[in-house]
Amino acid sequence: MRHGNFEAETETAYNWRVLSHLWPFLRESRRRVAAALLCLLLAKGAVLVIPFLLKHLVDSLDTSGPQLPMMAIAGLVLAYGGARFANVFFGELRDTIFGRVTERAMRRVGLQVFRHVHALDLDFHLNRRTGGLARDIERGTTGISFLMRFFVFNIAPTLFEIAAVAIILLTNYGASFAAITVLSVFIYGLFSLRATEWRTQFVREMNAADSASNTRAVDSLMNFETVKYFTNEEFEAQRYDEELARWELARRRNRLSLFGLNGGQALIIALAQTAMIGLAATGVRQGDMTLGDFILINQFMIQLFLPLNFLGFVFREIKGSLANIEKLFELLAVQPSVVDRADAQTLQVARGEIRFEAVDFAYSETRPILRDVSFTIAPGEKVAVVGPSGAGKSTLVKLLFRFYDPASGSIRIDGQDIGRVTQASLRQVIGIVPQDTVLFNDSLFENVRYGKPDASDEQVDAAIRLAHLDAFIDSLPEGPDTLVGERGLKLSGGEKQRVAIARTLLKRPPILVFDEATSSLDSKSERAILAALREISADHTSLVIAHRLSTIIDADRILVLQDGQVVEQGKHRELLEHNGHYAELWQAQQKQRDAQDHSH
């Protein structure tokens, strides 16, 4: 699995990477973007007109100067009101039009990340922390929306407004006013940039603490029963409080750094406005300017620093958004170790023969699991794999489903190397009844339908009957609409296994895998489930991973796996007569069963 080196890129190439991700969404909705930009220009035009209307109004009301007729004054008043309204109206219209673009981008990115996470290999999911991952995705998509809106409609327009105000002041009132404007904006921008760069570390700390506390809460709540079994509520609360304490400290540092940033920005604005008003007041006193000019300059400064003050907020938020979506792009940069080849074909299954050819596999270099494993399951044959814990039995299933690729050797189905076919077509032809059936927090009926999402209600009902699940469903007050609870916690082990069987029956695959499907059941449930498994595996190629040897005595062939190697194979009776590893396992389990019977 390859991970990008994000820490090194964050402050340099990373910003451009974000923009390159946003550009396709803007290009796709270019008509909406153009309409939004037109509204933006109209709103900014209205803002620039307002100070001139105020100047003429004040000058017309000044009794010491030439008087305008009442109709002209009324016209100026109406124009002022119209400009104010136009500024707000076109601003709102701009946001409404562009809203579709950002919402579509959030939807597309959210779906892209969701698909990508599902495409990642089993190794990633075994090591992930669900709560933190969900929070990172949520914050990342929100950050992308913020970045699109404010980069297009706040940074660029504010820079345009600064340039326009500087030119107006230079042309009408001289270089001093223009110089103060440009210099104050430059100092403000430089201070905001440096201070926000410094603050980003606190934003990251706060997000990390937030994700950690959320992960801790989700993890604890998902394992609610375990917490109760060991009366560890207080222990869990203390661990959660430790994470919250880190979050509180990170928030405090973030808040104090924000105080320093806001205070510095406020000082720069106050000094600039004081200098401008002082110059304008001197000009009026000396007779070089009218009272209207004083109002115009004051209004321009207010209008200029309002968005500039907001620009500081936007810049901070953009830096915060970049920090938020670092995790998102880090996630998108993770490459699965199992990928379809460029020339991958669709797996065609006519007979259902499975062949392992000299397969070696290790989860890590220091821990070899399978060594030179070779065996064939003939079409329609039922082959069981037995052996002690850690022998590599369940690893065979993971390799068959291609959750991992073998280090060497190959696995073939009807002569086709599964490494050369698409993962989707491979998994479509294999049905599994796992050791631990995990259900979705939905109705029992929909959990069965999950085996084939496009199945009709009649097909689902038929699968329920074949799995002998109908009597149980009929006994429930809400019948098939009964909610099974998160991860199926409201159902017993046997009931969940029947749901797994019904799912597999609905899928109707040519190859069946049973991964210790009865190991967690009592003997009565086990007998019922075994009967159902025998029923559904008739005429199917079946691979059975077994812990209890009594469940596979009817297998066509039994493979004994020891230390990652096939050490024996044959029928149940043959292996007992051989008096080897299988016979030892059988005798050990018989003694265990006898001891349990005596204890009862």
| Per-residue pLDDT tens over the stretch 258-311 | 888 888 888 988 898 899 889 989 988 888 888 888 888 888 888 777 776 666
The CA angle 567-572-578, to the nearest 5 degrees, is: 55
Of 493-502, 516-525, 571-580, the range with the lowest mean pLDDT is 516-525
CB atoms within 10 A of CB 210: 20
Name the average pLDDT for the chain: 83
Determine the Cα–Cα distance for residues 346 and 342; give it in Å rounded to an integer: 12
Higher pLDDT, 284 or 426: 426
Task: Tell me the DSSP string of 403-418.
Answer: SS--SEEEEEETTEEG
Do the strands 557-562 and 382-386 form a parallel or antiparallel pair, or are they unpaired? parallel
Specify the pLDDT at position 15: 52
Specify the pLDDT at position 11: 41
pLDDT at 44 over 80: yes
**What domains lie within the chain, and their CATH numbers?**
6-333 (1.20.1560.10), 342-429+511-600 (3.40.50.300), 437-508 (3.40.50.300)
Structure tokens, 453: 């999402």
| Per-residue pLDDT tens over the stretch 124-171 | 776 666 666 777 778 788 887 787 777 666 777 777 788 888 888 888
3-class SS of residue 85 = helix
Can you say whether the dihedral through the CA atoms of 493, 495, 499, 500 is positive or negative?
positive
Segment 67-95 mean pLDDT: 87
